[in-house]
Amino acid sequence: MKHLLKKGISPLIATVLIIGFTVALAAVILTWGTSFTKQIAKGTEETTETQLACAQDVQFDVKSACADDADGDGVADGVKFIVENNGNRDIVNFSVRLKITDTNVVSGSVGSAQIARFGLKTFVATAADIPDLAGQEGSITEVTLLPVIKIAGKEVTCAQSVDSYSPAIEGEVLSAC
């Protein structure tokens, strides 16, 4: 039998290869880590800006709300509400929640509900705006509004800036306009 002499790579070459792999791996991790950190920082900045704007610049009050009979037939066609914007930012829209009973709440948004800062405006929400409202306009017990503002070109709902209007007696429906 013939004796085969096998030789491996020298320790110097092995050390150079290990260092080369380590440097390459470190470069890949640093590149990924830098972009990951930038994405996290950008997301945190946007969230902080939104929360600050909603907390400091958005202040509004629902002055009144009533069941609106636009066509005069004695049946409510929608909900009319008056909103005063007391904040430093324009409100571009409202998300509306209309409570009918404790277990029946319809929601939607009011078309073209823009209100300038320090403005007062009357809006009417109808079944055209909130399809689930159809036939229940005269049964509403509470109106809740969530403002929508624009930040950096994006529309953002300020969920922490909420205002409601309901009749003085709990469980009563909104009065006719």
Give pLDDT, residue 111.
66
Q: Where are the alpha helices (DSSP H) in the chain?
A: 11-52
pTM over 0.85: no
Please give the sequence-ordered ranges of beta strands (E in DSSP) within the chain, or none if there are none: 60-68, 78-85, 93-101, 104-109, 120-126, 142-151, 154-157, 163-165
Q: Over the stretch 1-24, which tens digit does the pLDDT of each residue have? A: 555 666 777 888 889 999 999 999
Query: Which positions ≥6 away from 137 have C-beta within 8 Å?
Result: 67, 68, 75, 76, 77, 78, 79, 126, 127
In the chain, where are the structural domains located?
A: 9-57, 59-165
Instruction: Supply the CATH classification number for the domain 59-165.
Output: 2.60.40
Give pLDDT, residue 73.
81
